[in-house]
Every structure is written in structure tokens, then in C-alpha cells.
Amino acid sequence: MESEVPTVSSQVESPFSPPLLAVLEALLRQHPGVSAAKASSHHPQLGQVTVHVVPNDEYLASFLKGDAEERKRLQTWRKTFDLTQLGKEAASAEVGFNIAGWNSSYARQPIPEPAMREWVAHTVAEILSFAPQEILEIGCGTGLLLLRIASQCKRYTATDFAPAVLGKLRQQLEVMPGSWEGVSLLERAADDFTGMAEDSFDTVVINSVLHYFPSVSYLIRVLEGAARVLKPGGRIFIGDVRSLPLLKAYCASVELYQAEGDVPLNELRERVTRRRKLQDQLVISPAFFLAFGERNAKISDVEIRVKRGRHDNELTRYRYNAVLHARSEPNNKTTVPWMEWTNLQHGRADLQRVLREEQPETLAIRGIPNARLNQDLFALKRIFDPHASATVADLQADLLAQQPNGIHPEFLHDDGDLAGYRVDLSWARCPEDGSYDAVFSRKNPNHQQSIAVDWPQLSTAGADLWTYVNVLGANSLRQRLARELETFCQQQAPPEFQSCSIQLVDSLPATD
Amino acid sequence: MDHKIAIRQFVRELLDNKGDDKPLNDDSHLLTSGRLDSVDAVQIVVMLEEKFAVDFAQIGFDQTMIDSIDAIDSIVRSAQAEETAEPLLKHGK
């Protein structure tokens, strides 16, 4: 490899002539962690060469693949959850409703109890709609779901890796009325399926857990294990997944909330970018599940569901549920004629009229603007406008003057309920504006569950699964790569460049 | 080394890793201000358990307990006071 590097001629007079800098760039481009490199010298002294490097994301993610790194991350999270159970909040929690540790990223305060009650109620209703009898719950926590579902099932096996959390759940099972004979609790990591037979559960629940997984390979391992123990005809319910297409809008909304009024928007923009890079949790595109479903023989189809809930918070705005079905008749998808939301001239009034008067068997509408995200998307656009010269206070004033826009998903559920329709809402197109698609299907007492619909979805053909997940804690990984590249230069570059400085950037600076 | 210096250094490193180069005073809020997050809190807890034998299972845990260098320092002081008091009690038996 070394012999392929162009050698530096000692005859070159200026140590920083463009050809010489090109040598350094060529050397760095041979490193697998480098996608692009541009060397520049603004000072004629030796050692003042800066190389801007665009890192290779796949290489950054490879830092996470090591077992030691995975273990370290898991231990940190386990400790985090155990600590939540040592505080006053957990000690005074109502039996059956221990929400210690559920904090808002905005206010850094506990998410208000009514919002959490609604969140639990919708999640429980969604799972019970499958009429499950044999459930495996991975990451059961303090039992917010288990304590509401298990007594209606034959068997409920629940796992969690945090001993103090499981201890709290055991205490509640002892004092709460209910038939808990079918419940077994196992202290173990999510990827441990030891002792679980193939095809042994009709429903696997993994709720609000995926973002704590330490790597994409771990995530894939868990889903493969879940699919293996799933009975044909069953489903994997994955709740509360943080959305990658909306990550930037989420980061912008949090930073805007926390910023002082006099902060200029260009500084806010930097904070948003930094927050995005510092994410220590897995943030996953719905496309990941679509692609996983296509690659796993047992999974027949995948639903990407928009969260239910009237409370407005990061859970309802920025998360979704994925349901991976292993249907017995995998090819029995209902083809529905799709119409665009923009074709409904009077919006919701038209929709209500069609449902009431025409009463179609199904009605499928795509591209419905999302009222939950209207303000955040407006703010995002302004923050990333390169000509923006305003401050946070200016932006907040503009937001107050904004006309409401879009349709709240719960309004469509109301319209459906009123006209006797089941409503399913999807994010399978993975839109960055949070717009969604809807299918209204006439309620049938014999068929409560969602029908397999050919939802419009992002094509995932040929793409690697890791491209649909953020790079965890990218900031520390980037620092690690920068150090690695500096060592690489010390060992391989001509003496003039051995102390060059590496700056990792998202794109190369424009050439002069 | 004085334990407060070690705590300062540890917290400074956590902030540096986040690209936070703002001044750090002993009474600066670390967690409630958002400068550090729950993952950092765990790093602090583990450090206190390993280096200073603080037993959170005994004393309970709340983020405010480690929200500043002064707060962390006072936990370490109590833990050390307890450690020196214990042998006396045993002796008294």
C-alpha cells in the first residue's frame, strides 16, 4: 500500500505547493475512514497544514461493532435505568404506573402524567387489538404494558437487563390484583433468546427500547431472534421508534426551545448540527424496517404507524410504531386506489362527506400534511436559511404569527370513528416533512385488525440496513477517527506533514 | 490529589467531549442546565462508586445530587466521613 503513495520530491521548493498538498490528500484518501480530503496551507510555516476530511460513515459505524464497545454502551444504559429506580420519583410511584425516568428533552423535566397515561393507553390498545395470547416482551421496564396486558394472555414472558427495574416490577406483581400465573420475568439482554423455542410466541413486543441498543448489528440480531421465536400468523410490535427522517427537525425544535431570545439563528444552527451529531441513541428510519422485512423470510409485510395521542410532545411528534407481520397468507395484500390529499378541494370537509354519504369499503389518501409538525418544520426552514440574520426571539415571534396548517392525525381518527371506519395512518414513505398516508376501512365486527395494504413506501432495494440508522455518538467516533488519521500521517506521510492538523467536516470547503 | 480537583478534572473532560468549552465553576449546574446528559451522569456515578466508594443503593439517587462540582464534593465528603466512622462503631461493639 505504501508503495502506491506518490513519493515527495525533495526538489520541491515550497513545502506547500499544490502538488505536494495533493500528495498528502492522496495518502489520506487511501485510509478507509476517508471519503474525501482537501489539504490547505494558510501559513507558510512548517506544520501549519490543515486537512479537511469528509469521514466515511460506514467506517465510523464500524467502531461500534466491537463487542467491548457494545458491552460498554449496554452497561451504561443498564446503570441509567437502575439509577432511575433509586430516586424519590420511583419510590413514590403509583403501583402499576411507575414512570420514573420518562423526561422531556425540551424542559428536562418529567413528561406530564396525563401525557404518559395517554401514551400507555394507546400502546396497550394497539397491542390488545392483535388479541395476543403468548407474548414475549423485550425490555419490559417497570411493567407499564405488562401490568395492563398480561392478565388477558395465557403466557407473558418479559425480559429486561436492569435488575433494579425488574425488582420494582416484581414488587408490583406481588401487590397488584390480577392473574399473573402466566408471567415469567427474565433478567437478560435483548439479544439473548436462550431457551426460547422457534415459533413459540404470537406477539413479540419491543416498546420504547430500540433507541438504547448499542449498534445496528445488535438491532438486527434482536429482530432476527424475535422473528425466529415468532409463530407464523404473529407479529413483532416495535413501539416508540425515534424517526431518522425527522431527526433534524427534532434537534431544531429542542434547541429553539432551550435557547435564549438573543441567540442569533446562525449560532442556533450550529447547536442543532452539534446536537444531531452527539445523539447517543439509535435513531432509525422507517425504511430500516421495510428493508428488514424484505430480507427476512418470515416477515410478510411491515406497517409503519403514526403515533396516536392528543398530547403534543416528542413521543407523538417524532416517534412511530412499526409492526412486522408474519401473516399466514403473505401475498394477500389489498390493493386500494390512492388519491392525493391535495385533490380534496375542501380538505377534511370533503373527507367527512365521502365517508358519510358515499360510504366506500376503503378510502386511501396520501400526502396529508401533519399539523403536529407544522411549527417545527417552519422553524427548521428558517434556522437553516443561510441568509437568516434574525435571532431566536424574532423566530419565536414569527412562529406565533403562523397560521395553523395541516391535519392533526387524531382528527382523522375522530372522522373515521364517527362514520364507522377503522383508520390506519402510515409513515412508510419516510417523508422528512412528517406528512402521512391514511386508509379508512369500513369497520367489520369479524375483522378488527388492520388489513395488509399496499402502502406507498420508500424503495429500499439494494440499500444496506446500516444506512437507515444514525451513527451513534458520532462526535466521539469522529474524534477517534481524527486521532487515528493524525497517527496515520505521523507514520506514513513525508516528514513535512507529520504534524498536520485533521479537521473532520461534512463536505469539503469550496475551492478558492 | 485533593478529591475536588479530581472531580473538577473528570467533569471538565466530560464537557470537553461534548465540545463545551464554556467556563466551569464549582456551582455551575451540570445536568439540570443540559450541559451534561443522563449518560454523563452515569459516568459520574460510576466514578464516585469506584474511586470514592459512594454507595448510591444506600443513599438513593437523584440528578440534583450530582448537579454541580460542589454537590458531588459533598457526596464524597459524606461517604468518606462514613467510612472513617464505621470502624469506630465496630470497635465500640
Q: State how many domains chain B has.
A: 1
Choose from A88, A108, A168 for mutation: most chain B CBs within 10 A: A108
Instruction: Please tell me the distance from the alpha carbon of residue A357 to that of residue A148, in angstroms, as a whole number.
Output: 39
8 Å CB contact between A41 and A49: yes
The pLDDT value recorded for residue A329 is 78
* Beta-carbon contacts below 8 Å between A and B: 38
Q: Do B60 and A278 touch (CB under 8 A)?
A: no
Q: Is A163 on the interface with B (CB under 8 A)?
A: no
Burial of B5 (0-12, 13-18, 19+ CB in 10 A): exposed
Mutate to test the interface with B, among A69, A71, A73, A76 (most CBs of B within 10 A): A76
Please compute the mean of the pLDDT values over residues A350-363 and round it to a whole number: 96
Say yes or no to pLDDT of A317 above 70: yes
Confirm whether pTM is higher than 0.90: no
E-strand stretches of A277-390 = 301-306, 319-325, 338-340, 362-368
Q: A274 in contact with B at a CB cutoff of 8 Å?
A: yes
Residues of B in contact with A214 (CB under 8 A): none
Is residue B45 within 8 angstroms of chain A, CB to CB? yes
Q: A246-280: per-residue pLDDT in tens? A: 999 999 999 999 999 999 999 999 999 989 888 88
Instruction: Please count the other Cβ atoms lying within 10 Å of the Cβ belonging to residue A313.
Output: 20
Q: Which residues contact B69 (CB under 8 A, 6 or more apart)?
A: B4, B7, B8, B11, B24, B25, B26, B27, B28, B30
Residues A292-314: pLDDT tens digits?
999 999 999 999 999 999 999 99
Tell me the CB-side half-sphere exposure of residue A115, using CA atoms within 13 A: 14
**Owning domain of residue B66:** 3-92
Confidence tier at A417 by pLDDT (50, 70, 90): very high
Task: Write the single-letter amino acid at B49.
Answer: E
Specify the pLDDT at position B64.
92
With cut-offs at 50, 70 and 90, classify the pLDDT of residue A20: confident
Output A432 or B92, whichever has higher pLDDT.
A432
pLDDT confidence of A505, banded at 50, 70, 90? confident
> Counting every residue, how long is chain B?
93
Interchain CB distance below 8 Å, A86 and B57: yes
Single-letter code of the amino acid located at A453: V
Residue A273 grid cell: 448540527
Is residue A200 scored above 90 in pLDDT?
A: yes
- Is residue A69 very low, low, confident or very high in pLDDT (cuts 50, 70, 90)? confident
Who among A76, A86, A108 is closest to B56 (CB)? A86
Binary contact (B43, A76; C-beta < 8 A):
yes
Assess whether pLDDT exceeds 80 at residue A387.
Answer: yes
The helix/strand/coil state of B90 is: helix
Look at the block and give the residue holding cell 392478565.
Answer: A151
Query: What is the structure's pLDDT at A12?
Result: 38
Q: How many residues does chain A have?
A: 512
Split at pLDDT 50, 70, 90, the class of A511 is: low
Report the gap between the CA of B58 and the closest CA in chain A (Å).
9
Q: Quick check: B42 contacting A, CB < 8 Å?
A: yes
Q: How far apart are CA A174 and CA A178, in angstroms?
A: 10
Instruction: Decide: A180 and A151 in contact? Cβ < 8 Å.
Output: yes
In a mutagenesis test of the A interface, which of B18, B30, B44, B61 is the best target, namely the one with the most A β-carbons within 10 Å? Answer: B61
Cell (9 digits) for A282: 439509535
Tell me which residue in B38, B57, B60 faces A80 most closely, judged by beta carbons.
Answer: B38
Q: Return d(Cα A189, Cα A204) in angstroms, integer.
A: 15
Averaged pLDDT score across all residues of chain A: 90
* A476 part of contact set with chain B, CB < 8 Å: yes
| B86 pLDDT more than 70 | no
Rounded mean pLDDT, A397-419:
95
Please give the C-alpha separations between residue A99 and each of A64, A104, A259, A376, in angstroms, as whole numbers.
Answer: 30, 12, 27, 27
Distance, CA of A482 to CA of A275 (rounded, Å): 19
Q: Are strands A436-442 and A362-368 parallel, antiparallel or unpaired?
A: antiparallel
Question: What residue segments make up the domains of chain A, in order of their start?
Answer: 473-506
Which residue from B32, B46, B57 is facing A108, i.e. has the nearest CB? Answer: B32
CA angle centred on B52, ends B46 and B56, rounded to 5°: 55
Which pLDDT band, with edges at 50, 70 and 90, does A13 fall under? Answer: very low
Helix (H) or strand (E) holding A501: strand A501-504
Backbone angles phi, psi at B22, to 5 degrees: -70, 160
pLDDT at A49: 82
Amino acid at B27: D
ipTM rounded to 2 decimals? 0.82
Q: Does B41 touch chain A (CB under 8 A)?
A: yes
The three-state (H, E, C) secondary structure of A8-39, written as one string:
CCCCCCCCCCHHHHHHHHHHHHCCCCEEEEEE
pLDDT of residue A424: 96
Handedness of CA A292, A298, A303, A308 (dihedral sign): negative
* Shortest CA gap A110–chain B (Å): 12
CATH of the domain at B40: 1.10.1200.10
3-state secondary structure of B24: coil
List the alpha helices (DSSP H) in A245-299: 247-258, 265-278, 286-295
Q: Using pLDDT thresholds of 50, 70 and 90, give the confidence band for residue A365.
A: very high
**Residue A510, pLDDT score:** 65
Q: With bands split at pLDDT 50, 70 and 90, how would you rate the model's confidence at A375?
A: very high
**DSSP 8-state code for residue A469:** B
Say if CB A215 and CB A64 are below 8 A apart.
Answer: yes
Q: How confident is the model at residue A456 (pLDDT cuts 50, 70, 90)?
A: very high
pLDDT computed for residue A8 by the predictor: 40
Q: What is the predicted pLDDT for the residue at A479? A: 75
Q: What is the pLDDT of residue A6?
A: 37
